[in-house]
């Protein structure tokens, strides 16, 4: 049975390799970058650690992050607790202080577990908010861009100028201002970081939708009489998601770093909640006496942010249409 | 050309106005009043609070407060809530402090990023390329203050580099040369640490641009002609790769305000970032508003410069 290959030559259909779905193609290109594969495994481990952190420090309380043991202050990692002084229910579950204790005798390992969930959730929720807002505004600007409003400007111009206005404002400074003026709460931080980070996603989505609008499947959908919102959000946006996915992974990394910066300046999540930024900031006062209090959360943030960045770059390479075989 | 510049300037003036209104609304909508900063002071009587609120126009409707702010700013009479000093004077002094730090960091970034990026691009996949990629990722993944503290610990012991403030206490009596050397010595560590992140990002971008250019046909022709590698890279390839960087150069300028809060806190450098931080803590609305609008203005000026330079470099843009 003869068919045509992409150059137009006549080929025997049974001898061709089976056609590859886009998903398989993506996996094939992604797997070539070994560093990205390792980093995605690290991230999977991180997600597991985060969820188990929430489970084991708050719901089932295997590792208690809040119990204060003053006789056991400033113990280095892997040291044994003073069994005779500390009452039995306060002893660490694993028999040793895996990451040492801090200035109040709290188990740093338990605090890091609790903080992992908080830091990760801040990153994901903030980026989630910014992605939703960005896709909404970008989709509207790209698809309805020609519609005039009150004869002054088009929808596209309005949304793009609004994006430009938001891009003008120095981001970290404004986040700092708003977070400092609002009552300190973890939800405020998430919402504020999310509300100031949607501009990149909006631009990407709008550019992709403008390019995709001329394609035949959109004309066919309109001819079938599908409502416009369904066309945008069920058909166009999923095809436009590639650059959004890349900026999402890098956005989570940036959100985690922003949160640690805010904690350093005193405006992060308030005690007794632990986030990695909190633990790092508390530890900076004890660099000479107890360096593990500063180094451990810092290296943890470093490893996680590095993993997100590497996976983001790997995704960008794998989703790059110029590298596809077609 | 003039029409192009004129259109850009007019657009930016409108944007600046919208930004100022937005920021004003945002900051006044947030809870926390300047008159409530010190509730534990026993001498604060209700009459004092009322006096403060009247002097700062805090009870007036929002648009009136905006008008007062813009009017005072335009006349140059805007006074800070905290100590009644003119806001513009404060900002100018801190700006002069931030400026050497910013110029030094930018110089270091742009001088080091280009050779690293170009070398990584021309030997793609080699040891230098892969290791510089890894180092670049690592540099942008460290929390800013984590790396700074670790380096401070190492550097102060070995090299005796100063890490606090602008100058050594007591140097005012020394001669000009020694004062200048002292200032430069204090500038070294903050600007180096501030430059690290920028080098990482910029060298990656240089590398990707050079990779795009080096695969073009005219570069292949130049090499086939037998030209020396340096001539091919620096005279032919690099010039075409430079176009996005001309635009990026204008976008650097807003970093003067926003980028440095953390580094200025670590090194106790009295610059614009620290001014903003102190103003936020004391709910000093005029200073916060003026700083934010100043940052927005710098962004707009930066994008204007990059648009104009892009128009000069690429004539197709001017015709739009």
CB of A92 closer than 8 Å to CB of A83: no
A145-174: pLDDT as tens digits = 777 776 667 788 888 888 887 887 777 777
Task: Tell if the CB–CB gap between A177 and B280 is shorter than 8 Å.
Answer: yes
Task: Tell if the CB–CB gap between A264 and B262 is shorter than 8 Å.
Answer: yes
Predicted confidence band at A131 (pLDDT cuts at 50, 70, 90)? very high
**Is the pTM higher than 0.90?**
no
Tell me which residue in B140, B149, B259 faces A284 most closely, judged by beta carbons.
B149
Q: Which of A76, A67, A116, A73 is nearest to A96 (CA)?
A: A76
Question: For the ranges A74-83, A168-177, A300-309, B298-307, which has the lowest average pLDDT?
Answer: A168-177
Q: Which pLDDT does position A303 carry in this prediction?
A: 92
CB contacts of A170 in chain B (<8 Å) are: 254, 257-258, 292, 295-296, 299
Q: Is B201 strand, coil or helix?
A: helix
Predicted confidence band at B112 (pLDDT cuts at 50, 70, 90)? very high
A267-317: pLDDT as tens digits = 877 777 788 888 888 888 888 888 888 899 999 999 999 999 889 888 887
Task: Tell if the CB–CB gap between B15 and A257 is shorter than 8 Å.
Answer: no
Nearest-Cα distance to chain A for B228, in Å, is: 31
Q: Is B25 strand, coil or helix?
A: helix
Which of A173, A188, A268 should be substituted to probe chain B, the one whose Cβ sees the most B Cβ atoms within 10 Å? Answer: A173
ipTM > 0.85 (yes/no):
no
Mean pLDDT of B38-48: 66
Task: Tell if the CB–CB gap between A302 and B143 is shorter than 8 Å.
Answer: yes
The CA-based angle A236-A241-A242, given to 5 degrees, is: 130
Predicted confidence band at A326 (pLDDT cuts at 50, 70, 90)? very low
Which of B143, B196, B251, B274 should be substituted to probe chain A, the one whose Cβ sees the most A Cβ atoms within 10 Å? Answer: B143
Tell me which residue in B27, B145, B258 faces A170 most closely, judged by beta carbons.
B258
CB of B93 closer than 8 Å to CB of B180: no
- In whole angstroms, how far apart are CA A247 and each of A36, A239, A283, A319, B301? 16, 15, 31, 12, 27
Mean pLDDT of chain B: 81
pLDDT value at A121 more than 70: yes
Q: Which of B279, B310, B248, B263 is nearest to B102 (CA)?
A: B263
Predicted confidence band at A140 (pLDDT cuts at 50, 70, 90)? confident
Say which residue, A244 or A268, is predicted with more confidence: A244
Task: Tell if the CB–CB gap between B299 and A310 is shorter than 8 Å.
Answer: no
Question: For the ranges A52-56, A112-116, A317-321, which has the lowest average pLDDT?
Answer: A317-321
B26 close contact with A: CB closer than 8 A? yes
B140-168: pLDDT as tens digits = 888 878 888 888 888 888 888 888 878 77
B100 close contact with A: CB closer than 8 A? no
Q: Which pLDDT does position A306 carry in this prediction?
A: 92
Nearest-Cα distance to chain B for A66, in Å, is: 25
Question: What is d(CA A296, CA B54) in angstroms, rounded to the nearest whole number?
Answer: 51
Say which residue, B19 or B32, is predicted with more confidence: B19
Q: Which pLDDT does position A128 carry in this prediction?
A: 93
pLDDT value at A51 more than 60: yes
Establish whether the linkage from the previous residue to A272 is cis, with ω within 30° of 0.
yes
Residues on A contacting B at a C-beta cutoff of 8 Å: 35, 161, 164-165, 167-174, 176-178, 180-183, 253, 257, 260-261, 264-265, 277, 280, 284, 287, 294, 298, 301-302, 305-306, 309-310, 313
A184-219: pLDDT as tens digits = 788 888 888 888 888 888 888 888 888 888 888 888
Q: How would you classify residue A105: left for phi > 0, otherwise alpha for psi between -120 and 50, otherwise beta?
A: left
Q: Which pLDDT does position B140 carry in this prediction?
A: 86
Predicted confidence band at A325 (pLDDT cuts at 50, 70, 90)? very low
């Amino acid at each position: 049975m003869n068919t045509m290959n992409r150059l137009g030559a006549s080929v025997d259909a049974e001898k061709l390799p089976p056609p590859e779905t886009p998903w398989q193609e993506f996996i094939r290109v992604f797997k070539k970058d070994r560093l990205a594969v390792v980093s995605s495994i690290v991230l999977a481990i991180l997600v597991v650690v985060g969820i188990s952190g929430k489970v084991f420090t708050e719901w089932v309380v295997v590792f208690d992050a809040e119990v204060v043991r003053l006789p056991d202050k400033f113990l280095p990692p892997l040291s044994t607790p003073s069994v005779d002084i500390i009452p039995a229910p306060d002893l660490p579950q694993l028999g040793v202080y895996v990451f040492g204790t801090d200035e109040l005798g709290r188990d740093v390992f338990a605090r890091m577990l609790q903080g992992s969930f908080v830091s990760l959730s801040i990153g994901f929720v903030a980026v989630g908010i910014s992605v939703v807002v960005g896709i909404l505004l970008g989709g509207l600007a790209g698809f309805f861009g020609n519609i005039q409003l009150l004869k002054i400007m088009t929808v596209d111009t309005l949304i793009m100028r609004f994006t430009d206005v938001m891009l003008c404002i120095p981001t970290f400074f404004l986040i700092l201002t708003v977070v400092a003026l609002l009552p300190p709460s973890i939800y405020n931080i998430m919402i504020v970081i999310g509300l100031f980070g949607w501009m990149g996603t909006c631009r990407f989505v709008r550019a992709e939708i403008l390019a995709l609008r001329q394609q035949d499947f959109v004309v066919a959908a309109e001819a079938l009489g599908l409502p416009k919102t369904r066309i945008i959000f069920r058909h166009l946006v999923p095809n436009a998601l590639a650059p959004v996915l890349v900026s999402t992974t890098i956005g989570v990394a940036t959100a985690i770093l922003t949160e640690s910066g805010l904690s350093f300046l005193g405006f992060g999540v308030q005690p007794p909640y632990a986030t990695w930024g909190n633990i790092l900031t508390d530890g900076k006062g004890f660099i000479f006496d107890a360096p593990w209090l500063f180094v451990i959360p810092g290296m943890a943030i470093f490893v996680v942010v590095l993993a997100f960045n590497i996976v983001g770059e790997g995704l960008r390479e794998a989703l790059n249409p110029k590298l596809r075989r077609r | 050309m003039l029409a192009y510049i004129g259109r850009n300037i007019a657009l930016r003036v409108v944007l600046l106005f919208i930004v100022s209104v937005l920021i004003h609304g945002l900051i006044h909508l947030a809870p926390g009043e300047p008159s409530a900063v010190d509730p534990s002071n026993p001498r604060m009587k209700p009459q004092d609070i009322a006096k403060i609120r009247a002097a700062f126009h805090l009870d007036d409707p929002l648009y009136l407060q905006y008008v007062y702010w813009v009017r005072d700013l335009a006349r140059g009479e805007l006074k800070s809530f905290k100590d009644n000093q003119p806001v513009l004077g404060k900002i100018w002094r801190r700006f002069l402090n931030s400026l050497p730090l910013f110029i030094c960091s930018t110089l270091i970034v742009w001088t080091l990023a280009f050779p690293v990026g170009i070398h990584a691009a021309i030997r793609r996949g080699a040891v230098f390329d892969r290791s510089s990629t890894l180092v670049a990722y690592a540099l942008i993944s460290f929390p800013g203050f984590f790396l700074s503290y670790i380096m401070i610990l190492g550097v102060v012991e070995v090299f005796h580099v100063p890490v606090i403030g602008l100058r050594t206490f007591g140097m005012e009596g020394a001669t000009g040369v020694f004062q200048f050397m002292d200032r430069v010595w204090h500038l070294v560590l903050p600007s180096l640490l501030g430059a690290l992140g920028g080098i990482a990002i910029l060298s990656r971008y240089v590398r990707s641009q050079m990779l795009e250019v080096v695969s073009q046909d005219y570069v292949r022709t130049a090499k086939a002609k037998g030209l020396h590698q340096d001539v091919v890279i620096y005279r032919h390839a690099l010039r075409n790769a430079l176009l996005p960087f001309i635009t990026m150069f204008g976008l650097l300028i807003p970093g003067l305000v926003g980028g440095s809060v953390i580094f200025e806190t670590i090194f106790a450098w009295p610059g614009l970032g620290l001014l903003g931080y102190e103003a936020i803590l004391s709910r000093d609305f005029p200073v916060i508003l003026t700083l934010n609008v100043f940052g927005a203005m710098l962004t707009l000026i930066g994008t204007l410069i990059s648009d104009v330079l892009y128009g000069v470099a690429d004539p197709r843009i001017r015709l739009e």
